Amino acid sequence: MADYDLVIIGSGPAGMTAAIYAVRADLSVLMLDRLAPGGKIINTNEIQNYPGVGTVSGAELAIQMFQHTQELSVPFDYKTVKEVRVEEDGTKRVLCEEEDAVYTARAVLLCTGTNSRTLGAPGEDQYIGNGISFCAICDGAACKGKDVVVLGGGNSAVEEAIYLAGLAKSVTVAVRSYLKADPIACDKLRSFENVTVLEDWNASEFCGDGRLRSVRLKNQTTGEEKEVDCVQAFEYIGQIPATDCFRGLGVLNAAGYVEADEQMRTKVPGIYAAGDCIVKNLRQVITACADGAIAAQSAAHYIQNLK
């Protein structure tokens, strides 16, 4: 007999929403994550597009979501999943890196999100954690009154650059093409006098003397180069799905994202997926929550049929 009806791997908005819906469907549920509940929203300074809560910090919203799961007594454990196997009888076995941490379930939900992509430019590896950051809310306070560089032009890059504009002496935003964030956010960013937006520029090298001192930029069209002094560079150039531990299931596409249908079902019966790690067009908190709700309902129907 399986330990749980449903094991949820990942505790971001998708995983926590799924847990809430699954418990309300009278399923026995376990939620696993190697990090604190909340996923990437923990590091988001400000969320303004989640209906009903107005402007809220990502950390605050994450806490509220997790508290909701705990009000419903959803078990949560810090574990790093290394593999999911499907037994001959259809039982799913979740194996973790931690010794003796193995769980069985009738169904498993994959919602491990994504990790930040890096440029691979010279000096990058040397200065990650020592001048290069992926979280403005984590490291922005140390930049008060100083010069910073933001790399990227999507919503994350623009939102974090706006946050930094309120702290730093200057913010240089370099994007290899053009700003692709919401127009309102782009307009707000450009309204700051201490913000310079450089479109069609990409980072070619990170320079310093044991500590990051500048970022060398190269124009993608003309080849012109310039060096921008800074104490910190923040990278927001895309995401990589955190799905390596699911490769054995055969549910990933060539880019590593999980392929799921409109009911969040993968091609393996009893394996579901939700949130940023799936193939989708829009990765937002609200769409992750919607995915989680659908996945939990689909899993509940599947499990009820088994019983």
Q: Please report the pLDDT score of residue 262 as a whole number.
A: 97
pLDDT of 14-24, one tens digit each?
999 999 999 99
Query: What is the per-residue pLDDT for 198?
Result: 98
pLDDT category at 43 given cuts 50, 70, 90 is confident
Superfamily of domain 4-115+240-306: FAD/NAD(P)-binding domain (3.50.50.60)
pLDDT tens figures, 266-275: 999 999 999 9
How high is the pLDDT of residue 232? 96
244 pLDDT exceeds 80?
A: yes
Average pLDDT score over residue span 274-283: 94
Q: Over the stretch 147-186, which tens digit does the pLDDT of each residue have?
A: 999 999 999 899 999 999 999 999 999 999 999 999 999 9
pLDDT at 210 over 80: yes
Confidence of residue 100 (pLDDT cuts 50, 70, 90): confident
For the chain, give the secondary structure using H, E and C.
Answer: CCCEEEEEECCCHHHHHHHHHHHHCCCCEEEEECCCCCHHHHHCCCECCCCCCCCECHHHHHHHHHHHHHHCCCCEEECCEEEEEECCCCCEEEEECCCCCEEEEEEEEECCCEEECCCCCCCHHHHECCCEECCHHHHHHHHCCCEEEEECCCHHHHHHHHHHHCCCCEEEEEECCCCCCCHHHHHHHHCCCCEEEEECEEEEEEEECCCEEEEEEEECCCCCEEEEECCEEEECCCEEECCHHHHHHCCECCCCCECCCCCCECCCCCEEECHHHECCCCCCHHHHHHHHHHHHHHHHHHHHHHC
Mean pLDDT of the chain, nearest integer: 95
Q: How many residues in the chain?
A: 307
Q: What percent of the chain has pLDDT over 90?
A: 85
Percentage of the chain surpassing pLDDT 70?
A: 100
Q: Average pLDDT, stretch 249-253?
A: 97
Residue 292 pLDDT grade (very low, low, confident, very high; cuts 50, 70, 90): very high
The CATH class of the 118-235 domain is alpha beta
pTM: 0.82
Whether pLDDT at 204 is above 90: yes
Highest mean pLDDT among 127-131, 134-138, 265-269: 265-269
| All CATH 3.50.50.60 domain ranges in the chain, comma separated | 4-115+240-306, 118-235
> Residue 1 has what pLDDT?
60
Return the pLDDT at 92: 97
pLDDT at 45 over 80: no
